[in-house]
Amino acid sequence: MDYIIRAIDKKKTFRIFMVKSTETVETARLHHNTSPTASAALGRTLTAGLMMGCMMKNEKDRLTININGGGPLGTILAVADNQGHVKGYVENPSVDLPLKDNGKLDVGSAVGTDGKMTVITDIGMKEPYVGSTDLVTGEIGEDIATYYWVSEQQQSAVALGVLVDRDYRIKSAGGFIVQPLPFIEEEDLVKLENALGNMKSVSEYFDNDDDVEDIARRIFSDFEVEITDKIPASFSCDCSEERMEAALISIGKKDLEEIIREDETIETVCHFCNKKYLFEGEKIERLLDGIR
């Protein structure tokens, strides 16, 4: 089962968000039939979304990550709440690129660096908070760290990893965000930087049955890590026939009638989970009756 942990070192010098997201990314792959490169790019974005969502306070708060780097994958979008739910899609899921010389998936080239990462935080205020930064590497982890620095002046280390198996299934996925707290002393900051510098590649930590708690304690073994929260995580879409109806109604009576004249049925597809909704016969009449 996927889950997120929230942790803090005992001296309260930094906080950790860490998540194992293998099943979440595999569910996304099944919904969207993503190529290995697309699985990695979307998977890293979903993994980050799960953790960033948990930084919000209320159940109804929503965080959206929109990445558009001008690369062949097109736009990548993820929407998360603070309850461990995330949904998302990539515009061109079948795009795949050759592996890099080091044998890794070339997420950076597939995403591109000629564009922006935009993070929209909707916490029920009149206007959502929108922060945007230029993409640096397109590898997503570093771009999110840059986002926190540029928009919130918050130092962060972000590590995201997705391993794709030969049969294209997700072998493992996970990641963490580490943020030093305001009163961290120089000595501890150096210790923290060393811990991060001595790490293996992040995917290796998640490519087994180890508990997320143990992974956190292993990476930050020079510190006393206290786990403060454990939240189940999953890919979960909240689309419904009612929502699709509402979207159709917003098209307007005249345009809807035109679509029906040509096709007699209306099929809508949810971008996030590819679920299809079919409207025909009575359903359509009810829909049209509902529009004044």
- Beta carbon nearer to Zn ion, 94 or 240: 240
**Which of positions 72-111 make contact with Zn ion (CB under 5 A)?**
none
CA distance 95 to 69: 14
Q: Does 28 bind Zn ion (CB under 5 A)?
A: no
Query: What b/e sequence results for 5-39 when a residue is b if at least 16 CB atoms lie within 10 Å of its CB, and e otherwise?
Result: bbbbbeeebbbbbbbbbbebbbbbbebbebbbbbb
d(CA 196, CA 35): 30
Closest-CA residue to 205 (of 163, 236, 241, 245): 163
Q: Which of 145, 239, 256, 287 binds Zn ion (CB under 5 A)?
A: 239
Number of shown-chain residues binding Zn ion (CB under 5 A):
6
Least distance in angstroms from the C-beta of 275 to Zn ion: 5
From candidates 7, 159, 195, 237, binder to Zn ion by CB under 5 A:
237
- Cβ count near 257 (within 10 Å): 12
| Residue of 161, 192, 166, 162 lying closest to 179 (CA atoms) | 192
CB 52 within 8 A of CB 152: no
Question: Smaller CB distance to Zn ion: residue 17 or 272?
Answer: 272
Nearer to Zn ion, 133 or 236 (CB): 236
| Binding of residue 244 to Zn ion (CB under 5 A) | no
> Looking at 18, 56, 256, 273, which residue binds Zn ion (CB under 5 A)?
273
By CB under 5 A, which span of 42-50, 164-172, 218-226, 229-237 interacts with Zn ion? 229-237
Using CB under 5 A, pick the residue from 270, 279, 284, 287 that binds Zn ion. Answer: 270
Residue type, 101: D
Using rule CB under 5 A, residue 25 touches Zn ion: no
Q: How far is the CB of 272 from Zn ion (least distance, A)?
A: 4
> If binding is defined by CB under 5 A, does position 272 make contact with Zn ion?
yes
The residues of the shown chain that bind Zn ion, judged by CB under 5 A, are: 237, 239, 270, 272-273, 275
